[in-house]
């Protein structure tokens, strides 16, 4: 009978060594032992590790799991430090069981430093579970550095009465329908839904929307932290970089009015096209870029 279990604290260096071996480190166990004294919470980290062991054999696959709590608004399951000992089927079995055990709306498997051939192998084996390859860049903007804008767009905040209108505009702008689960996930992608930080943008109050910007909140204070969860312009403006740039800057001005020395984080997917270039032009600074496998809401 196959067993899936967590680890004891003294097994953590072994697990880290297996993950380092998987990415091709020349002396993984030695490096893991050198890193061991730096582990901040060995017991907690070990409890987040999951390994798969078949009868009469040592564990053949493992992954670190950061699962959402039952009362968390964000229902994203985060997986990292993947490894297997020539048992990709066992790794897929492990991931499938982790997905079954933890309620989630979306799941992300980080593949930092995993060689391309191994990334492709994992992508092919996890595709039946709903995972697709992507690359995500995390970027940050300092709200004290908002560039000037002569004529900002007018931003209308979400209300319960306008939800259907917001959703219809988003679907039209993106050129695809969004499921109820996908819409709910977008609202609480990074925490509790913030109605006053979800915007439709207009030139004037009597004109149709020209864009949307959906933001989240980490902390609302003078030096508050926000997330830019989704942003885009109307479909007829998709080729207009200036329109998207103006929308982003108008949104940053609004957030700076709440937190003039705060910061905004954004995750840009490879599928987002030129959005990353626009954010860099405005002043967002790249923090880290990660290859991932993503299981999005159904």
Q: Do 95 and 162 fall into the same domain?
A: no
Q: Which of 107, 130, 153 is the last residue of a domain?
A: 130
In a domain, 218, yes or no: yes
CATH number at residue 169: 3.40.630.30
Q: Do 148 and 245 fall into the same domain?
A: yes
Kindly report, residue by residue over 5-56, the tens digit of the pLDDT: 999 999 999 999 999 999 999 999 899 888 888 888 889 899 999 999 888 8
- Predicted pLDDT at 1: 63
- Predicted pLDDT at 3: 82
Torsion of CA 154, 217, 164, 173, to 10 degrees: 60
Q: DSSP assignment of 217-264, as one string? A: EEE-STT-EEEEEEEEE-GGGTT-HHHHHHHHHHHHHHHHHH-TT-EE
In a domain, 297, yes or no: no
Q: Do 285 and 145 fall into the same domain?
A: yes
- Predicted pLDDT at 54: 85
Kindly report, residue by residue over 110-131, the tens digit of the pLDDT: 999 999 999 999 999 999 999 9
Q: Do 119 and 154 fall into the same domain?
A: no
- Predicted pLDDT at 2: 73
Burial class of residue 213 (count of CB atoms within 10 Å of its CB; 0-12, 13-18, 19+) = buried
Q: How far is CA 107 from CA 9, 22, 246, 294, in A?
A: 25, 21, 32, 6
Its domain, for residue 229, covers 141-290
Q: Which of 130, 153, 186 is the last residue of a domain?
A: 130
Enumerate residue ranges in the chain where pLDDT < 50.
none
Determine how many CB atoms are found less than 10 A away from the CB of residue 235. 12
Q: How many domains does the chain have?
A: 2
Longest dimension (CA), the chain: 72
């Amino acid at each position: 009978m196959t067993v899936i279990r967590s680890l004891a604290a003294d097994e953590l260096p072994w697990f880290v060594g297996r993950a380092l071996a998987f990415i091709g480190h020349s002396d993984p166990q030695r490096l893991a032992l050198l890193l061991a004294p730096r582990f901040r919470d060995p017991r907690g980290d070990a409890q987040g590790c999951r390994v798969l062991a078949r009868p009469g054999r040592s564990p053949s696959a493992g992954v670190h799991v950061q699962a959402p709590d039952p009362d968390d608004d964000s229902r994203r399951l985060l997986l990292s430090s993947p490894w297997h000992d020539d048992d990709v089927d066992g790794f897929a079995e492990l991931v499938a069981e982790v997905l079954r055990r933890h309620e989630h709306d979306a799941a992300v498997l980080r593949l930092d430093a995993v060689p391309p051939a191994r990334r492709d192998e994992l992508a092919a084996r996890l595709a039946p579970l709903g995972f697709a390859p992507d690359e995500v860049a995390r970027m940050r903007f300092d709200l004290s550095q908002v560039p000037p804008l002569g004529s900002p767009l007018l931003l209308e905040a979400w209300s319960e009465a306008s939800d259907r209108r917001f959703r219809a505009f988003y679907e039209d702008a993106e050129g695809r329908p969004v499921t109820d689960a996908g819409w709910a996930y977008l609202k609480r992608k990074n925490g509790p839904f913030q109605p006053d930080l979800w915007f439709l943008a207009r030139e004037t109050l009597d004109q149709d929307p020209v864009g949307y910007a959906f933001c989240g909140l980490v902390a609302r204070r003078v030096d508050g932290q926000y997330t830019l969860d989704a942003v885009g312009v109307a479909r007829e403006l998709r080729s207009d970089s200036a329109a998207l740039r103006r929308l982003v800057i108008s949104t940053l001005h609004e957030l700076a009015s709440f937190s003039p020395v705060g910061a905004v984080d954004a995750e840009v997917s490879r599928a987002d096209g030129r959005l990353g270039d626009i954010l860099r032009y405005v002043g967002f600074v790249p923090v880290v870029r990660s290859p991932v496998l993503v299981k999005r809401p159904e």
